[in-house]
Amino acid sequence: MNESDALALATTALELARGAGAESAEASVSIARRFQAEAHEHALSKLEGSTGKSLFMRVFREGRKATLSTSDLSRDGMETAMKRAVAQAAHVAEDEFAGLPETVVSDAPDLELFDAGIAERDGGEKADDAIDLERLIREADARVVNSSGSNYTDAVAVSAIANSTGFAAAYSWTRAGRSTGPVALDNGVKRIGHYGTASRYLCELEAPAIVAKTAVRRAVDLFGARKPATMRVPVIFERDVAASFLDDVFAAVSGANVATNNSWLTERIGTKVGSDLVNIADDGRLKGKLGSSPFDGEGVPTRRTPVFENGVLRSFLFDTYYARKLGAKTTGNSNGGGIGPNNFYLEPGTMTLDELIAATPQGVLVLDTIGFATEHASGTYSRGARGFYIENGELAYPIDEFTVAGLYPEMLAHLDAIANDLRFDSPVVSSSFRISEMTVSGN
349-380 per-position pLDDT tens digit: 999 999 999 999 999 999 999 876 677 788 89
198 & 262 share domain = no
| Same-domain check for residues 276 and 371 | yes
Q: Could you report the per-residue pLDDT of 140-161, keeping only the tens digit for each? A: 999 999 999 999 999 999 999 9
Q: How far is CA 290 from CA 60, 111, 285, in A?
A: 32, 11, 11
Numbers of helices and strands, H then E, in the chain: 10, 19
Q: What is the DSSP letter of 351?
A: B
Same domain, 36 and 77: yes
Q: Are residues 351 and 387 in the same domain?
A: yes
> What are the residue ranges in the chain where pLDDT is below 50?
none
Q: Residue 336 in contact with residue 28, Cβ under 8 Å?
A: yes
Single out the residue of 7, 297, 1 nearest to residue 166, CA to CA: 7
> What type of residue sits at position 126?
K
Total count of domains within the chain: 2
One domain, residues 106 and 241: no
Domain boundary among 181, 200, 220: 220
Which CATH number characterizes residue 145's domain? 3.30.2290.10
- The answer to whether residues 180 and 237 belong to one domain is no
Pair 252, 181 in one domain: no
Count CB atoms within 10 A of the CB of residue 286: 18
- Both 362 and 279 in one domain: the answer is yes
Same domain, residue pair 410 and 293: yes
For residues 195 and 232, membership in a common domain is answered with: no
Same-domain check for residues 139 and 123 = yes
Q: What is the pLDDT of residue 378?
A: 86
Phi-psi domain of 261 (left: phi exceeds 0; alpha: psi -120 through 50; beta: other): left
Instruction: Indicate if 295 and 425 belong to the same structural domain.
Output: yes
- Out of 191, 220, 249, a domain closes at 220
d(CA 317, CA 334): 9
- Per-residue pLDDT, 99: 93
Where residue 402 falls (left for φ over 0; alpha for ψ -120 to 50; beta otherwise) is beta
| Per-residue confidence (pLDDT) for residue 105, from 0 to 100 | 76
Q: What is the CA radius of gyration of the chain?
A: 24
Which among 197, 220, 243 is the end of a domain?
220
pTM: 0.95
Domain enclosing residue 252, as ranges = 225-443
